[in-house]
Amino acid sequence: MVAIRVPRSMRAKREVLKHAPKLVENGKKMLILHGTKTSAVLNSVLADIFHLKRDHAVKYTKKNDNIRPFESGGETSLEFFSLKSDCSLLVYGSHSKKKPNNLVFGRTYDHHIYDLIEVGVENYKSIESYAYDKKLAPKLGTKPFFAFIGEHFESVEKLKHLKEMLLDHFKGEVVENLNLAGVGRIFVCTAISPTTVCMMHCALRLKRSGTSIPRMELVEVGPSMDLVVKRNQSPAESLRKEAMNTPGHAKKVKNVTKDVLDGKTGRIYIPDQEVAKLALTNDIKGLKRERRDAKKNKEHSKKQKVNPE
């Protein structure tokens, strides 16, 4: 287990807060792991995924024997590696006779397994198998487009889950503004059947169209593969509520408003002031002398009734 150390300086506290879960995550890192046994195809798949996420990925090449993602207690090692490498996205590859070229995509919240989905890789083509003009090679680290083709992504629950998982794993950092000139690649995912998705990675080639908007062409640069969905694990209800927690609305302050021009404005209460034992009220017209004398006489008579001599 990882030893828990209490930070003793402000610099150490700031580093701990950087690794703490946030309401809005940005730039998630991916952890790539190998199982007890892997095939040559699966090794190439994991290498290509690491190539696509090179700036935001950590890859362990050592084989792991005690990882069983969908079994009770088998996710402990995944949570340990997630905490050790500070990664919230997981990709685990394993190969066996019953489940050849098996991939498991997973997400964590606070370094606890949030959800998992298992797919089988078929009809795989690596990046090296494609021949194209190297000038068209997309720059890694840029923001990619996503195209999900097929009605099964909206009607089948497992494909909905796979769509969320692929978006979270390959979308990159969250940005507010995007320069279209720097976007040069796209992931095309086509639902062939309720359990099979064809995934391709293409480069965007801009050509003249006679207008100010260029015409786009797709050039397949790899990798491409068919993902056959097998098992999936949804998050626990308690963990889902904690992960989906959003910041509450600020408490409304009495007599405070916000204006577009003046900004934050408010009203304050000022009690009646006295000058030389003379009460000054907020009445604009003021009090006449006769009315003021009548008020004093009335108060004097009340005191005499309460405290008779």
Domain ranges of the chain: 17-243, 256-306
> 3-class DSSP state for residue 178?
coil
To which residue do tokens 């640069």 refer? Answer: 221
CA dihedral 86, 90, 96, 100 (to 10 degrees): -150
User: Residue 307: its pLDDT value, please?
Assistant: 55
Beta-carbon contacts of residue 242 (< 8 Å; ≥ 6 apart)? 109
pLDDT digits (tens, 9 = 90+) for 258-299: 776 767 888 887 776 666 666 666 554 555 666 777 777 887
User: Residue 211: its pLDDT value, please?
Assistant: 85
**252 or 286, greater pLDDT:** 252
**137 or 52, greater pLDDT:** 52
Closest CA to 22 of 73, 88, 90: 88
Q: Which of 44-58, 131-145, 177-191 has the highest mean pLDDT?
A: 44-58
**82 or 291, greater pLDDT:** 82
Interval 148-168 mean pLDDT: 93
To which residue do tokens 């491409």 refer? Answer: 224
Q: How confident is the model at residue 137 (pLDDT cuts 50, 70, 90)?
A: confident
Q: Residues of the chain with pLDDT > 70: what percent?
A: 81
Residue 306 has pLDDT above 80, yes or no: no
Lowest mean pLDDT segment, chosen from 22-26, 240-244, 252-256: 22-26
Q: How confident is the model at residue 22 (pLDDT cuts 50, 70, 90)?
A: low
pTM: 0.71
Q: How confident is the model at residue 130 (pLDDT cuts 50, 70, 90)?
A: confident
User: Residue 289: its pLDDT value, please?
Assistant: 67
Q: How confident is the model at residue 94 (pLDDT cuts 50, 70, 90)?
A: very high
Q: How confident is the model at residue 21 (pLDDT cuts 50, 70, 90)?
A: low
| Cβ–Cβ under 8 Å, residues 99 and 120 | yes
Tokens for 136, please give them.
Answer: 């068209």
To which residue do tokens 């098996």 refer? Answer: 102
What is the distance between the alpha carbons of residues 102 and 86, in angstroms, rounded to a whole number? 24
pLDDT digits (tens, 9 = 90+) for 199-239: 999 888 878 888 877 788 888 888 999 999 999 999 888 88
Could you please state the CATH topology (level 3) that the domain comprising 17-243 is classified under. Answer: Rossmann fold (3.40.50)
